[in-house]
Amino acid sequence: MLMAQTDTHVFNQDNDYEPVPYSVGVVSEETGEKLWVPDILVGQKPAYGMMYYSLEQAYEYYKDYAKRAGFEVRLGQQYKSKKNKDDNLDLKYFVCSKEGTNPAPKKVGPKSKQRKHSSKRTDCKAAFRVKYVEGRGYWCYEFIEGHNHSLVNEEDSVFLVSSRDVSYTQQVFLYQASQVNLGPVKGFNLLRVIYGEYDFIGVMFLA
């Protein structure tokens, strides 16, 4: 169970009104950990028992929710039993981009370049998990709402990757590329070759 901490308005040192935080700070009774729960209306966020026609529809729904909530979505684990002969996955996880932990830095020589991580993972447990139901689609069997890190303010959400309209198919491609040690820049460069321009894959630019 989560216990909400009240915080209705904020004033700065000049007594000027500042926007209410975009998320609600809560404390988990089970762990005592402070969590951030997006302040999103019930009808605009996933819920246990929701059905989706396809994985792509489920992904787009969660990505749209994440954009309003102020966090990034990453494709998580997936499962398919050997008995499953069609193309549908049995289980699919969509997770917060801060799920897991950053790998320990490798020992490199003085001339070797070490890749810098643009974001720090915090082992966030927020997730959206769906299960295939034959003849119906994908059913939400678990939705973990709380994040163990602060969220992006609504006015800054345009800078989220989720605002760049990368499709589910393209996300799958980038995920598969990462499994063969191709980083995001190389993955996006391959997509640019396939689609022609970065504009067609929903990104603003690559540094």
pLDDT score, position 34: 84
- How far lies 75's CA from each of 3, 58, 110, in Å? 29, 12, 35
pLDDT score, position 193: 66
Q: Which of 118, 98, 36 is nearest to 69 (CA)?
A: 36
- Give the DSSP H or E segment for 184: helix 184-195
**112-131 residue pLDDT tens:** 555 555 568 889 999 999 99
pLDDT score, position 203: 39
pLDDT score, position 32: 77
pLDDT score, position 59: 93
Contact between 160 and 67 (Cβ < 8 Å): yes
pTM more than 0.85: no
SS3 per residue for 111-128: CCCCCCCCCCCCCCCCEE
For the chain, list residues with pLDDT below 50.
Answer: 1-21, 158-159, 198-207
Q: Which residue has the tokens 């820049």?
A: 185
pLDDT score, position 114: 56
Backbone angles phi, psi at 118, to 5 degrees: -75, -20
Distance CA 205, CA 202 (A): 9
The DSSP result for 123-181, as a single string, is: ----EEEEEEETTTEEEEEEEE--BSS----GGGGGGSGGGG---HHHHHHHHHHHHTT
Contact between 66 and 39 (Cβ < 8 Å): no
Q: Where do the domains of the chain lie? A: 20-101+119-164, 165-207
pLDDT score, position 17: 36
**CB neighbours (10 Å) of residue 170?**
19
